[in-house]
Amino acid sequence: MALDKELTAAAAIAQLRSGMTLGIGGWGPRRKPMALVREILRSPLKDLTVVSYGGPDVGMLCAAGKIKKLVFAFVTMDAIPLEPYYRKARESGAIEIEEYDEGMFQWGLRAAGMGMSFLPIKVGLGTDVLAKNPRLKTVQSPYAEGEVYVAMPALRLDAALLHVNEADRLGNTLIRGADHFFDHLYARAADACYVSTEQLREQLTLSPETAQQNRFERYLVKAVVHAPCGAHPTYLGPDYGWDMEHLKRYNASAGEEGGWQKYRDEFVAVDEDSYLAKVGGAERIGRLKLPVF
């Protein structure tokens, strides 16, 4: 097969530029492309606009000073509700912010994928989401009832970073978790979509039922990165649960003098193989229990 989109994580991240707008798939501490995020942390990239249903991806990028502006609806690690490094950055005014309702957020991604400059939506009316964001405008229906809506601007991305359970070299992808979240919308909203995957195949051969786990087309995928345990320490259903021990340690680091630097030295300033060894290896990660909600 002529099409081979495989790249190393470093080669994929090397295609990004400072100042870009990056979408990061997943949701909170769930199915985050953390191997790619760690590669950004190792890189000289800076001044990024990050668009994310935020979890530790956003927290770590805040801690490392990579974010100029955050486009978000929340940042949380669920079982640890308050993300410590996001809070530091938010409270100190270190990052610009553009805050949306969760639904407005996916509406903006959708608009970008549809080639629209905005999509109308009721949500946001009456709230400080509008009052605190001068970029946001309303629009009046041209029809008889004349209703007023929020004109949710397209959230166009220079690049999207996603993590999936399985992919092939052509860019076909499978998401096996119970929820595929909004990764398909990130893929459509982006000029270039980089997908990391637990398992990389030459070419997928699927049953019709399994093929339903393919949520977006391969023409949207620019590169595929083989990254086993690449969502760690977040939850990748059904392969492994979130690593609460690690997340607690990361969370605690924010309260220590030089805590991020220590975390960074131990878990970021090493290659991915060493990272996996330090967090207990693929075997331990594979045994991390799936969260029970």
Partner 1 sequence: MSEITLAELMIVAASEVWRDNGEVLASGIGVIPRLGASLAKLTHSPELLMTDSEAYLVAEPVPIGPRANYLPKYEGYLPFDRVFDCVWGGQRHVMIGPTQIDRWGQTNLSVVGDYARPKSAILGVRGLPGNSLCHINSMIVPNHGPRVFVAGEVDMVSGVGYNPARFSAGMRTDTIDLRRIITDLCVLDFEGPDKWNGAAIRVRSLHPGVSFEQVQAATAFPLRQAPGLAETPMPTAAQLAIIARLDPHNLRAAQLKNNPPALRLASGIAA
* Shortest reach from residue 97's CB to partner 1, in Å: 9
Q: Is 141 in contact with 173 (CB distance < 8 Å)?
A: no
Q: Is 158 in contact with 186 (CB distance < 8 Å)?
A: no
Taking alpha carbons only, the member of 32, 64, 29 closest to residue 247 is 29
Nearer to partner 1, 146 or 255 (CB): 146
Nearer to partner 1, 73 or 282 (CB): 73
Can you tell me which residue has the tokens 């486009």? 71
* Shortest reach from residue 44's CB to partner 1, in Å: 28
Task: Considering only the C-alpha atoms of the chain, give the largest distance between any 2 of them, rounded to a whole number of Å.
Answer: 64
* Shortest reach from residue 141's CB to partner 1, in Å: 8
Nearer to partner 1, 54 or 259 (CB): 54
Token digits of residue 228: 């086993």
Strands 190-201 and 157-168: parallel
Q: Is 144 in contact with 103 (CB distance < 8 Å)?
A: no
* Shortest reach from residue 161's CB to partner 1, in Å: 19
Q: Is the peptide bond before 84 cis (omega within 30 degrees of 0)?
A: no
* Shortest reach from residue 217's CB to partner 1, in Å: 17
Q: Which chain residues interact with partner 1 by CB under 8 A?
A: 27, 54, 72-76, 81-82, 86-87, 90-93, 99-104, 106, 122-129, 131-132, 140, 146-148, 178-182, 292-293
Nearer to partner 1, 143 or 283 (CB): 143
Nearer to partner 1, 183 or 272 (CB): 183
